[in-house]
Amino acid sequence: MKVGSTAVRSSTGLQSLIPLCTIACTIALAFPLIAYGYLGIFTRYVADDFCAGRNLAIRGFWGSQIWTYQNHSGRFFSYFTRIGAGLIGGDQETRFVPAIFLVCWLAATTWALFELTKLLKWRLRLLPSLLLAEILIFAMLRTAPDPGQSFYWQAGTFTYTAPIILITAFLGLVPHFLTAEDNGRSTTLSVVLAGTLGLCAAGCSETNAVFQCAGLALAVVFCKWAPVVRARRILPILYSGLLGSILGFIVVAAAPGNAVREAGIRAYTPALTKTTLLQKTLAASAGYIFDFLRVRPLAALTLFAVPLALTRSEQLQSAGRTCWRSAIFVIAGAWILAFFLIFSGILPGMHAFSSMPPDRALFVDHWIMLLTLMLSGVVLGWLASPWYADSWVLRLLAAGCAVALIFPWSAKSARDNFAATRDLRMYAVEWDNEDAKLRRMKSNGELQVTLPWNASVASNGNIDQIGWISDDPTYFINTCTADYYGLKSLRAQRPDDNYHSQETTHQASPE
């Protein structure tokens, strides 16, 4: 009896240790995420943000929507929400948008994973779902090629981060739909919402419109003819999402502004032949995945191993037995689908620029890759659950693996983020001073303005590789900024007269 009591106490102690490790990892990841949100308060208008603000001031809310559709691009939803944010907040909304998007992104991802864990019948659901959501979003902001332009820049946030949040919510509807059906609840709202999310996400950019249509079409084909009966049950959600994505693609592709924008690009970049386009896109897609796995192996390991460990710890025993062949088939199929989606995401940019698209346009491709790594770990952990009896030793090892991978990574990121505060605060103060100065000059009747070069403002804070105003008053950043402030012309000039417009304009391009 005494030995038995000791064993029970030991088992109970280990049982309480696993959730404590999960809580500790969740708290550890919260610090760098809070830092990412905090750094957003130093964000200010940059480049195309002035163009959107100019359009709102000159043409009004609906007039700016129509003008952009006819003269710039068909990204109807991203521009609608972006101009809406400008209408509500003026130029003050930029400092709050990153934190708001971060909270929405975390909530949507946690909910989607919670619905998945509910379907998979995990012991604990909310806490592991929150931890996995934090890992995914933290890895995105830490390892993505250009989070500054994709997440902090207002033009990029509504174009490249917003659709990820919408698609995440769509993915959460799939297990939610199955659970609702199993419990006899109505699924009509889920189907309608799936189509709405597909439409809105496709309206954020050409990249999303293409990869959503391609991915959902492939998912429909797989589920319709797959031998797994359960897969066919999600067809209503997939059909609705595909229909919304197709409608969004049509609206985006039919915009007259696409031809105007492409003509500007074609002035200095000839179009690729179809064969060359496909070859370069295939090579770029494979190279993108390979480079990430080669350069960031620990990040890839964390995204795969932690979900595997959590799934193994929290998954209730399955009734059946699954072979290794099934595990390999499912994971290999997921990576084939991921490659196809990444290819579909890179293709529009490759067509437009005749080369690898800007890093900001790869944000959704990066998300697909990280999500596939995470879901591969979940699938392998789920398939492995029948192979051996429930072991507290293995659960303890899983918790130790998560702590060892997460703590050093999150600590370094939090330190780096908070260390950047000083420079970003200086940038924000300098930007606010320039803003106040231009408004005073406008009120004093000075309409042709030459500003001395300001290196701090030209740095754009946490948004890299986009130019400030140049010495060419006809450059689009200059004209947009001048119109935004109600000036006739605006240019920058360095005291040594050694400044050339190409130093800041050669990397800048409209959204």
pLDDT tens digit sequence for 368-381: 999 999 988 888 87
Whole-number pLDDT of residue 402? 78
pLDDT > 90 in the chain, percent: 51
Asked if residues 213 and 260 have their Cβ atoms less than 8 Å apart, the reply is no
Residue % of the chain over a pLDDT of 70 = 87
Strands (E), 308-452: 448-452
Please indicate whether residue 344 or residue 507 has the higher confidence score (pLDDT).
344
* Pairwise CA distance, residues 503 & 111, whole Å: 45
pLDDT of residue 507: 38
Mean predicted confidence (pLDDT) in 199-227: 88
Instruction: Name the residue with higher pLDDT: 31 or 397.
Output: 31
Enter the DSSP assignment of 149.
I
**What confidence category does residue 317 fall into, taking pLDDT thresholds of 50, 70 and 90?**
low
Contacts of 204 (CB under 8 A, 6+ apart): 75, 77, 78, 158, 159, 160, 162, 163, 166
Confidence of residue 403 (pLDDT cuts 50, 70, 90): confident
Mean of per-residue pLDDT scores for the chain: 85
pLDDT of 171 above 80: yes
Q: Do 401 and 378 contact (CB within 8 A), yes or no?
A: no
Q: Residues 6 or more apart from 380 whose CB is under 8 A from it?
A: 308, 311, 327, 331
Global pTM reads: 0.90
Cα 414 to Cα 161: distance, rounded to the nearest angstrom: 21
User: Residues 38-96: pLDDT tens digits?
Assistant: 999 999 999 989 999 989 989 999 999 999 999 888 999 999 999 999 898 877 889 99
Is a pLDDT exceeding 80 seen at residue 482?
A: yes
CA angle 495, 501, 502 (to 5 degrees): 130
If we measure between CA atoms, which residue out of 327, 232, 346 comes closest to residue 278?
346
Question: Residue 113 above 70 pLDDT?
Answer: yes
Nearest to 505 by CA among 480, 469, 457: 469
User: Vertex 203, ends 196 and 186: CA angle to 5°?
Assistant: 10
Q: What is the per-residue burial (b if ≥16 Cβ within 10 Å, else e) of 104-114? A: bbbebbbbbbb
